[in-house]
Structure 1
């Protein structure tokens, strides 16, 4: 059975440990929903000052709510709309320090103040996004971006 280790408080070491945990957690499981569920749970217990961690899956030119940890969320997000739709349209990570300053932000939870969204690309096609919200502005920095992108790459490798 998978065990969550205690973290040291050193951000880089702790992120490296979470990456190892993600690989161990997803290894050998072919079911996408199971893997996305465990990945969102792992990140949610690891990250501090977050209020939503989850996935949207790209279907029929829109994002559809997938496995997540947090309050109920928007079910469908059109391509190019909000932070998640922009990540899909541009096929790049969106690091938003203040969602209220993001043109067209979709407020699924009014408590969310900052957000990071990483597109998941499988076989050169958009599979979906990893979306993380925080009730604090400026919650995510370049270190978070680097390691959350690495985490997303691990998840992607189990979505073939």
Structure 2
């Protein structure tokens, strides 16, 4: 597939519906996980103009920065720190309408106001998390959680 997107729709749901088959086509046949994660991060940032989109991969006892789009980010996050650590530890989607109200939030950027973090699993273990930040309060909802969970299932298919 050509490395270009044509995301249509006026609502977020419509944009996700338009984007998902394009993501699938973009990663199909490409065996390199890092290349695929980089393209997924870029596609999400480009399609929705999120402040920051990136992946943290589980490495030993920490989450380590992987492919991302946006400003410079925290490189390593302990499993018991911040929204990403909570996602890893709880093994569930973290939807945070106001990061300043989240106990233990890690401020990699003071411009981040709301956040959604989703886990991807390899078997029973969390393998990585997708972290998306917005510079707007309460920017994420169940629509984002629903469709981004589908993105994570696509990623899980890549990692086996």
Q: Give the alignment's TM-score, normalised by structure 1.
A: 0.96
Q: Deviations over 1:120-147 (max 9, x none)?
A: 1112211110000001110001111111
Question: 1:13-32 maps to which residues of 2 (within 5 A)?
Answer: 13-32=14-33
Provide the residue aligned with 1:39 in structure 2: 40
Do the aligned partners of 1:39 and 1:155 also contact (CA within 8 Å) in 2? no
Cα distance in 1 for residues equivalent to 2:27 and 2:109: 29
Cα distance in 1 for residues equivalent to 2:64 and 2:113: 22
State the superposition RMSD in angstroms.
Answer: 1.0
Question: 1:35-114 maps to which residues of 2 (within 5 A)?
Answer: 35-48=36-49, 50-114=50-114
* Displaced runs of 4 or more, over 6 A: none
CA drift of 1:10 comes to 3.4
Segments of 5+ residues of structure 2 without an aligned counterpart are: none
Q: Deviations over 1:93-134 (max 9, x none)?
A: 000000000000000010000000001111221111000000
Cα distance in 2 for residues equivalent to 1:108 and 1:54: 12
SS at match of 1:112: coil
SS at match of 1:121: strand
